[in-house]
Amino acid sequence: MNTIWCIIWRFQPLHKGHELLIQASENENDSTIIFIGSSESENVSNPYNFQTRKKIIRANFINTNISIIALPDFKTDQAWLEHILKKIPEDISRLNIYCGDKDNDSAIISIQSLEHTIPFSISITEIPRSIIPVSATQIRTAIKDNNTKFLNLYLTEETIKIVKK
């Protein structure tokens, strides 16, 4: 295996912008690793636990070759990156990362700052947020406010069913 494709995001919850990233990866690759960030956190910014977020992704991507891996928060970027590297096969030569905003994505910035310590090359594919201009913060507010019209624009039926429980 020479190349691994991955997506690192919190998915709080999965919305149509996230889905574009996953679809792009699936269309271009044999397999994708999804790291679900803040996997052990539950608070206002992270209301859905890891298992719920994994369930949402699986409900929306049924027949796919996606690996979903928990990515807890760490005190340092180096510890965070070491955790990711333990989950990526050692025989790769390239890591391709999909993101929505490479200039402001903290995961991308952390990886780029530590790139010199990684034993393979990295490339970043950006799916501009302008394609689907929504954030998970807006989605969480719409869920709290029961704004069905907004939710129907940016979430699939499968996702709405799970987050409404």
**Tens digits of per-residue pLDDT, 150-159?**
999 999 999 9
Q: Name the average pLDDT for the chain.
A: 88
Nearest CA to 35 out of 55, 61, 64, 11 is that of 11
Architecture in CATH of 3-163: 3-Layer(aba) Sandwich (3.40)
pLDDT number for residue 2: 67
Sign of the torsion formed by the C-alpha atoms of 53, 137, 22 and 78:
negative
pLDDT confidence band for 161 (50 / 70 / 90)? very high
Pairwise CA distance, residues 149 & 85, whole Å: 41
pLDDT number for residue 108: 86
Q: What is the mean pLDDT of residues 88-112?
A: 83
> Is the peptide bond prior to 89 cis by the omega test (within 30 degrees of 0)?
no
